């Protein structure tokens, strides 16, 4: 049995929606972070699926770029998180609103 | 300078004295430089160096004039020394024709005498080198003005003499009133100079050139509106420099300067620059009859006003200043009449330079003997103490009131005759001129009698004495010129000066017809009025039979108006200073503070209020921002989806 591209897209959409919901609903910074990663990987899945459908390598190459950038982003993001935790002993995003206008 | 000395072959002038023309302004300029840079070391020599520079200029001028006279008549108008190209079609050319030669002779000749006199007059002055430096710079600028071949070079000299006038009026800047007087002269002249600049721009726009030969050659073909505008603007400049209505107010105040300066700059030469300009630019004024008539009428009005105001003054130098204003009015009547009277106007310029310089130097001599006092009510009976000054000033006095056969009679008479002959506005100018001649005779006699005749009125302990020879020699020379200067032009048609100047100034004059009223009759009338005025002045001030101090008490009201110069200064002050300040205050509050500052401030407060309203958008919560990002993405996707369906 072959799995059509619809299945990949459906999975990707599900993963992305879970990620969005997590980012919007959850307060824990680390969970929000993981949800962002989920969204990124959902997009990667889409890229690779279409790469397969079109028989071109562009999508896969782009997926690698996304991974590399995501890795860098995680490093910085976690660094900031650690710094915030050290200072305020919290990972609750709603407690961090220093930039309020 | 080598460039300057090369006479262009096109002019066809053989190198002679006229090719040394550039030395005329260059020598006094060198004297200025020497006195300015080395003056402190030279000290006593500075006056002699300055005098030598001007005297050398005079010698070259005489030589150049002799060469000019040796040329054929038609060739005389073409002596132009080509200088270096300055910019855009303007080059530093000098012109030596009959008109500029005549005025240059006056400038260098009278200039030399006054320099000589200054050595004696300023003997006790600490800052002599500075004084002589400015005086030399003045002569150099004046010669640039006179010898210029285009408007721009003339303007250079025009501004130069204005600057020197300012510097010399303000020479004793530590005395009260002096800085204000110097500034007044400068500012009032600036109004006129603005007219000169605008006139130059118009001329350049119209003719594409500032060269006299080119501009005047084509002046007849210019539209009358443009010609009138140019001529009137030029006359505005003349009114400033030559102290005519409405810009005459600076000249009486300028008398706070050293007396030789008043004689040289504010009587004999600089103030006649305006007359010279009108005579020079005669083709432009001929193309604009309305402007020429304006010149005549303003000249007549100024002549009358100056004479009236002179009656009310007690200060010798101020009387002479108003007299100068009045006599300049006569000259403007002359040159404003066009070809008929221009020669007479320049003739009056020449004779006036001699007798007015003499009168000023004589007044300086009197001041010198009276502890710098200038109040004629404190003189009286100085005839015995200063016989030379008395005799020489007497000649100049008779000359200015036009008693034949002295110089002033011939020139004034020719102006009045030309005005009468001209008709129209000229007749009005003639009537005013005759009346003014009577007034002139009165105020000059009043000054002369109060100074030299009657009982001595000077304070106890003052010992008036005759001035040193350095001062009396110029007095004598100028008095002789005032006496015999008339020989230059005894007749309007056949006088030597008239025939010399005619090709430049009265080329277009109609041949003299049979005059309606004989010239002799007109002259007799004027002389008669003058003699009556002198007799009246003698009766009041000289005979001792009338107590004139009591008389002035009785007519105090009328006198106060004259003493206060008809309140013209106050009027000007109201219109410039008071109204100017009110306008400035209005602009400061309404335009600057309310409009401009208000606009800028309301932009700032508007932004601040807007930011205040919108600050809630920045909650600082990351998840709120995430909603925004999601919303944006949703909108973007919706647009793409809807777009792709279509």
B229-282: pLDDT as tens digits:
999 999 999 999 999 988 999 999 999 999 999 999 988 899 999 999 999 999
Interface membership of B496 toward A (CB under 8 Å) = no
pLDDT score at B5: 38
Residue B156's Cβ-count burial label (10 Å; 0-12, 13-18, 19+) is: middle
* 3-state SS assignment for residue A92: strand
pLDDT score at B372: 85
pLDDT score at B7: 40
- In angstroms, the Cα distances linking B437 to B328, B385, B531, B535 are 13, 30, 10, 14
Using a CB-CB distance cutoff of 8 angstroms, which residues of chain B are in contact with residue A27?
623
Position B35 pLDDT exceeds 70: yes
Position B299 pLDDT exceeds 80: yes
B64-78, B331-345, B472-486, B593-607: which range is least confident on average?
B64-78
Mean pLDDT of B447-461: 88
pLDDT score at B3: 35
* 3-state SS assignment for residue A15: helix
The answer to whether the Cβ–Cβ distance between B618 and A100 falls below 8 Å is: yes
Position B226 pLDDT exceeds 70: yes
Interface membership of B615 toward A (CB under 8 Å) = yes
Q: Which residue has the higher pLDDT, B18 or A75?
A: A75
Using a CB-CB distance cutoff of 8 angstroms, which residues of chain A are in contact with residue B620?
96-101
Mean pLDDT of B143-162: 94
pLDDT score at B126: 86
pLDDT score at B621: 85
Rounded distance between C-alpha atoms, residue B562 and residue B323, angstroms: 14
Q: Which of A24, A98, A101 sits opposite B627 (nearest CB)?
A: A24
Determine the residue of chain A that is closest to B634 in CA distance: A20
pLDDT score at B9: 40
pLDDT digits (tens, 9 = 90+) for A14-72: 999 999 999 999 989 899 999 999 999 999 999 999 999 999 999 999 999 999 999 99
Interface membership of B624 toward A (CB under 8 Å) = no
Share of chain B above pLDDT 70, in %: 96
pLDDT score at A1: 61
Mutation site for A-interface testing, chosen from B621, B624, B627, B628 by largest number of A Cβ within 10 Å: B621
Helix, strand, coil percentages for chain A (3-state, nearest 5): 80, 0, 20
Q: Are B475 and B396 in contact (CB under 8 A)?
A: no
DSSP string, B338-372: GGGTHHHHHHHHHHHHHHHHHHHHHHHHHHHHTTT
pLDDT score at B250: 93
Q: Which of B620, B623, B626 sits opposite A100 (nearest CB)?
A: B620
Q: CA end-to-end span of chain B, whole Å?
A: 87
Determine the residue of chain A that is closest to B624 in CA distance: A24
The answer to whether the Cβ–Cβ distance between A97 and B627 falls below 8 Å is: no
Interface membership of B621 toward A (CB under 8 Å) = yes
Determine the residue of chain A that is closest to B628 in CA distance: A24
Rounded distance between C-alpha atoms, residue B634 and residue B313, angstroms: 96
Among B235, B222, B216, CA closest to B297: B235
ipTM: 0.84
pLDDT score at B519: 76
pLDDT score at B79: 78
The answer to whether the Cβ–Cβ distance between A97 and B616 falls below 8 Å is: no
Using a CB-CB distance cutoff of 8 angstroms, which residues of chain B are in contact with residue A94?
621, 623
Mutation site for B-interface testing, chosen from A40, A77, A101 by largest number of B Cβ within 10 Å: A101
The answer to whether the Cβ–Cβ distance between B619 and A32 falls below 8 Å is: no
Rounded distance between C-alpha atoms, residue B169 and residue B270, angstroms: 13
* 3-state SS assignment for residue B645: helix
Using a CB-CB distance cutoff of 8 angstroms, which residues of chain B are in contact with residue A20?
630
Rounded to the nearest angstrom, the minimum Cα separation between B611 and chain A is 9
Interface membership of A88 toward B (CB under 8 Å) = no
Q: Which of A24, A99, A100 sits opposite B623 (nearest CB)?
A: A24
Predicted structure pTM score: 0.79
Using a CB-CB distance cutoff of 8 angstroms, which residues of chain B are in contact with residue A96?
620, 622
pLDDT score at A68: 95
* Residue matched to tokens 């603007």: B233
pLDDT band at B339; cut points 50, 70, 90? confident
pLDDT band at B85; cut points 50, 70, 90? confident
Residues whose CB falls within 8 Å of the CB of residue B308, separated by 6 or more in sequence, listed in order: B439, B562, B566
pLDDT band at B2; cut points 50, 70, 90? very low
Rounded to the nearest angstrom, the minimum Cα separation between B637 and chain A is 14
pLDDT score at B4: 37
* Residue matched to tokens 């770029």: A65
Strand locations in B465-601, DSSP E?
A: none
pLDDT score at B533: 93
- DSSP secondary structure letter of residue A57: S
* 3-state SS assignment for residue B631: helix
Determine the residue of chain B that is closest to A16 in CA distance: B630
pLDDT score at B513: 58
The answer to whether the Cβ–Cβ distance between A101 and B617 falls below 8 Å is: yes
Using a CB-CB distance cutoff of 8 angstroms, which residues of chain B are in contact with residue A100?
618-621
Interface membership of B87 toward A (CB under 8 Å) = no
Mean pLDDT of B193-211: 93
* 3-state SS assignment for residue B91: strand
Report residue B96 as tokens. 């030596």
Using a CB-CB distance cutoff of 8 angstroms, which residues of chain B are in contact with residue A97?
619-621
Q: Which residue has the higher pLDDT, B1 or B456?
A: B456
pLDDT digits (tens, 9 = 90+) for B379-432: 888 888 899 999 999 999 999 998 888 898 999 999 999 898 888 888 999 999
The answer to whether the Cβ–Cβ distance between A32 and B623 falls below 8 Å is: yes
Rounded to the nearest angstrom, the minimum Cα separation between B194 and chain A is 59
pLDDT score at B516: 60
Q: Are B65 and B40 in contact (CB under 8 A)?
A: no
Residues whose CB falls within 8 Å of the CB of residue B416, separated by 6 or more in sequence, listed in order: B430, B433, B434, B437, B522, B523, B526
The answer to whether the Cβ–Cβ distance between B618 and A20 falls below 8 Å is: no
Interface membership of A32 toward B (CB under 8 Å) = yes
pLDDT score at B508: 62
CA dihedral A82, A83, A86, A91 (to 10 degrees): -60
pLDDT score at B594: 92
The answer to whether the Cβ–Cβ distance between A23 and B623 falls below 8 Å is: yes
Mean pLDDT of B447-452: 93
The answer to whether the Cβ–Cβ distance between A101 and B616 falls below 8 Å is: yes
Q: Buried b vs exposed e over B337-354: b needs ≥16 C-beta within 10 Å?
A: bbbbbbbbbbbbbbbbbb
Q: Which residue has the higher pLDDT, B80 or B191?
A: B191
Residues whose CB falls within 8 Å of the CB of residue B640, separated by 6 or more in sequence, listed in order: none
Mean pLDDT of B186-199: 94
* Pairs of residues, one from chain A and one from chain B, whose beta carbons lie less than 8 Å apart: 33
Residues whose CB falls within 8 Å of the CB of residue B384, separated by 6 or more in sequence, listed in order: none
Interface membership of A18 toward B (CB under 8 Å) = no
pLDDT band at B515; cut points 50, 70, 90? low
Interface membership of B633 toward A (CB under 8 Å) = no
pLDDT digits (tens, 9 = 90+) for B11-27: 444 557 778 888 999 99
Q: CA end-to-end span of chain A, whole Å?
A: 57
Mean pLDDT of B324-336: 94
Rounded to the nearest angstrom, the minimum Cα separation between A89 and chain B is 17
Rounded distance between C-alpha atoms, residue B195 and residue B238, angstroms: 9
Identify the bridge partners of residue A28 per DSSP, sorted by sequence position: A92
Position B181 pLDDT exceeds 70: yes
pLDDT band at A2; cut points 50, 70, 90? confident
């Amino acid at each position: 049995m072959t799995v059509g591209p619809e299945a990949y897209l459906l999975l990707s959409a599900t993963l992305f929606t879970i990620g969005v919901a997590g980012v919007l609903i959850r307060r824990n910074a680390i969970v929000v972070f993981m949800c962002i990663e989920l969204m990124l990987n959902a997009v990667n899945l889409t890229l690779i699926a279409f790469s397969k459908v079109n028989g071109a390598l562009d999508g896969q190459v782009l997926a690698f770029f996304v991974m590399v950038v995501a890795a860098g982003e995680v490093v910085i993001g976690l660094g900031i998180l650690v710094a915030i935790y050290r200072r305020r002993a919290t990972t609750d995003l709603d407690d961090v609103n220093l930039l309020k206008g | 300078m080598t460039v300057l000395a090369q006479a262009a072959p096109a002019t066809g002038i053989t190198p002679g004295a006229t090719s040394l023309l550039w030395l005329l302004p260059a020598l006094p300029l060198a004297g200025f430089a020497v006195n300015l840079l080395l003056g402190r070391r030279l000290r006593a020599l500075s006056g002699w160096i300055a005098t030598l520079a001007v005297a050398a200029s005079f010698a070259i001028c005489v030589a150049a004039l002799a060469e000019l006279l040796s040329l054929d008549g038609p060739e005389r108008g073409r002596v132009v020394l080509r200088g270096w190209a300055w910019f855009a079609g303007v080059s530093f050319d000098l012109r030596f024709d009959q008109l500029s030669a005549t005025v240059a002779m006056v400038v260098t000749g009278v200039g030399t005498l006054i320099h000589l006199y200054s050595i004696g007059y300023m003997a006790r002055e600490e800052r002599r080198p500075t004084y002589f430096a400015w005086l030399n710079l003045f002569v150099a600028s004046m010669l640039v003005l006179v010898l210029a071949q285009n408007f721009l070079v003339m303007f250079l000299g025009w501004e130069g003499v204005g600057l020197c006038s300012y510097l010399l009026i303000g020479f004793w800047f530590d005395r009260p009133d002096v800085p204000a007087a110097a500034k007044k002269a400068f500012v009032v002249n600036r109004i006129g100079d603005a007219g000169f600049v605008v006139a130059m721009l118009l001329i350049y726009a119209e003719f594409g050139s500032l060269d006299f030969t080119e501009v005047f050659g084509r002046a007849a073909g210019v539209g009358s509106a443009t010609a009138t505008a140019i001529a009137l603007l030029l006359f505005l400049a003349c009114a400033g420099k030559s102290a005519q209505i409405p810009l005459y107010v600076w000249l009486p105040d300028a008398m706070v300067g050293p007396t030789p300066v008043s004689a040289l700059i504010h009587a004999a030469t600089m103030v006649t620059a305006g007359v010279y300009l009108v005579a020079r630019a005669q083709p432009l004024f001929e193309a604009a009859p309305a402007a020429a008539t304006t010149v005549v009428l303003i000249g007549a009005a100024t002549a009358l006003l100056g004479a009236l105001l002179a009656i009310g003054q007690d200060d010798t130098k101020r009387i002479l200043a108003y007299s100068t204003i009045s006599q300049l009015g006569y000259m403007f009547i002359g040159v404003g009449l066009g070809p008929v009277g221009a020669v007479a106007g320049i003739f009056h310029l020449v004779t006036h330079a001699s007798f007015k310089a003499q009168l000023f130097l004589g007044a300086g001599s009197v001041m010198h003997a009276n502890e710098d006092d200038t109040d004629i009510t404190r003189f009286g009976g100085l005839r015995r103490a200063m016989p030379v000054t008395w005799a020489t000033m007497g000649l100049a006095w008779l000359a200015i009131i036009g008693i034949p056969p002295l110089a002033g009679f011939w020139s004034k008479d020719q102006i009045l005759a030309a005005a009468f002959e001209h008709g129209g506005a000229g007749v009005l100018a003639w009537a005013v001129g005759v009346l003014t001649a009577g007034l002139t005779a009165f105020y000059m006699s009043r000054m002369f009698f109060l100074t030299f005749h009657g009982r001595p009125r000077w304070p106890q302990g003052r010992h008036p004495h005759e001035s040193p020879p350095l001062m009396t020699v110029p007095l004598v020379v100028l008095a002789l010129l005032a006496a015999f200067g008339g020989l230059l032009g005894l007749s309007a048609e056949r006088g030597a000066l008239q025939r010399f100047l005619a090709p430049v100034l009265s080329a277009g004059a109609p041949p003299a017809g049979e005059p309606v009223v004989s010239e002799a009759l007109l002259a007799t009338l004027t002389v008669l009025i003058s003699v009556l005025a002198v007799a009246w002045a003698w009766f009041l001030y000289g005979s001792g039979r009338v107590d004139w101090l009591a008389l002035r008490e009785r007519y105090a009201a009328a006198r106060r108006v004259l003493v206060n110069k008809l309140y013209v200064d106050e009027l000007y002050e109201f219109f410039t200073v008071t109204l100017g300040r009110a306008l400035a205050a209005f602009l400061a509050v309404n335009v600057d503070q309310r409009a401009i500052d208000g606009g800028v401030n309301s932009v700032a407060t508007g932004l601040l209020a807007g930011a205040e309203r919108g600050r809630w958008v920045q909650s600082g919560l990351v998840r709120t921002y995430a909603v925004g990002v999601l919303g944006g993405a949703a909108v973007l996707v919706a647009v793409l989806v809807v777009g792709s369906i279509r």
